[in-house]
Amino acid sequence: MKDRRSVDDLSIEELELILRIKKNKVREERLRAYRDSGRALQSSINSELSDSWSPPKKRFQLSQITSRIMLIVEIGAVLGLLYLGYDIWQTRETINKEAKEVISAESFPTSSPTPMITAVVLPGGHIPPTDPGGTRFNESEIPENLRPMIQSLPAIIVPSPEAKQASRIMISTINVDAPVVQGDGWEQLRRGVGQHIGTSNPGENGNLVLSAHNDIFGEIFRDLDKLLPGDEINVSTMGQQFTYLVTDTLIVEPTEVSVMNQTKTPTITLISCYPYLIDNKRIVVFGQLQ
C-alpha cells in the first residue's frame, strides 16, 4: 500500500532512508544508460542502503584495545626502570665492598711517617768545592753493590705544599735563617734547607729531618758544630712556630741512616757534611720539642 503521509509526518530516519533510495535509483539509471551506450564497464551495485562509514561501536572497541596496550607498555617500562635501579645499586654495593676489602688488606699499622727506603746514605753528600773538578754529588759514598739499584730507581715524588709543612728554620745561636723545602736531593739543597720526604712535620710525634750544606750553596749549616745542649732551634710552618732544644751532637759515617729513624715523641735532626771543606763525614744534631 502506498504511504500517503505528508513529508511533515515522516521522521528524520525515514527521510534519510527515502533520500538514499532515490540516490540509489539515480545511480542505477545512470549506470544502465552507460552500459547501453557501451561506455561503462559491468559493475555491481551495492544494494545495501548504507554509506561507507565505521560503526561507532567498532571504533570504541579499537580505542579500548589501544588504551590497554599502552597501559601494558607503561607498566613494563616502570618495571624495567625499577630493575635497572636495583641492578645499579647492587653493583655499586659490590664495588664498594671489594674496595674496602682491598684497602683493608693493603693497610699497615703505621703510627708515624718513615724515611724513604731509598735512603742508603745520609743527605748532603758532595765533593768539596776545592776539588779540581768542582763540587758535585759524591757518588762514591753509596756502597758499590747498591749503586746500580739506586741509579735505576725513579725520582722521588715531592709532596705538594701544605700549611703544616716546615717553611723556615731559625737558629739564632749560629745565625741561621733560611727557607725549608720538601726533599733533600741535590737540586732541593741548592735552594735552602731540605726536609727528608716521609719524615714528620713540625710539632708532630716523630722525627723531623732537615739537611743543608756546610761549604756550598750558602753554607747554611756550616756552624752546626757550635751548637750546645739547650740551644733553641725554631721551625715555622705557614701558621705556627715550634721550638726544639738541642740535646746531642754526633759525628757519623755517611751510611749511618739510622739517625733518621722515626721517634715516638716530637724530635728534630739536623744533618750536614763534616768537616768543613773535607766532607767525608756527617755532623748530626738532635733536638727535642720544647
Query: What digits encode the pLDDT tens for the residues 185-220?
Result: 999 999 999 999 999 999 999 999 999 999 999 999
65 φψ region: left (φ > 0), alpha (ψ -120 to 50), beta (else): alpha
SS3 content of the chain, % helix, strand, coil (to 5): 35, 20, 45
Assigned domain for 231 exists: yes
Assigned domain for 129 exists: no
C-alpha cell belonging to residue 33: 544508460
pLDDT tens readout for residues 2-17: 566 666 666 777 777 8
Assigned domain for 176 exists: yes
Cα 63–Cα 66–Cα 67 angle in degrees, nearest 5: 85
For residue 152, pLDDT beyond 80: no
For residue 173, pLDDT beyond 90: yes
Task: Annotate 23-72 with three-state secondary structure.
Answer: HHHHHHHHHHHHHHHCCCCCCCCCCCCCCCCCCHHHHHHHHHHHHHHHHH
Q: How many CA atoms lie within 13 A of 127 on its CB side?
A: 11
Assigned domain for 183 exists: yes
Assigned domain for 70 exists: no
Alpha-carbon span 78 to 84, nearest angstrom: 10
For residue 56, pLDDT beyond 70: no
**Which 3 state secondary structure label does DSSP give 164?**
coil
For residue 102, pLDDT beyond 50: no
Dihedral, CA of residue 252, residue 254, residue 258 and residue 262, to nearest 10: 100
State how many domains the chain has.
2
- Can you give the pLDDT at residue 57? 56
Q: How many CA atoms lie within 13 A of 173 on its CB side?
A: 15
Percent of the chain beyond pLDDT 70?
A: 75
Q: How many CA atoms lie within 13 A of 280 on its CB side?
A: 1
Mean pLDDT throughout 43-70?
A: 61
Query: Which residues make Cβ contacts (< 8 Å) with residue 245, sequence separation at least 6?
Result: 229, 230, 231, 232, 233, 287, 288, 290
233 near 173, Cβ under 8 Å? no
Q: Which domain holds residue 18?
A: 12-37
Q: Which tops the pLDDT comparison, 144 or 181?
A: 181
Assigned domain for 133 exists: no
Q: Of 248, 240, 235, which Cα lies nearest the Cα of 170?
A: 235
Assigned domain for 61 exists: no
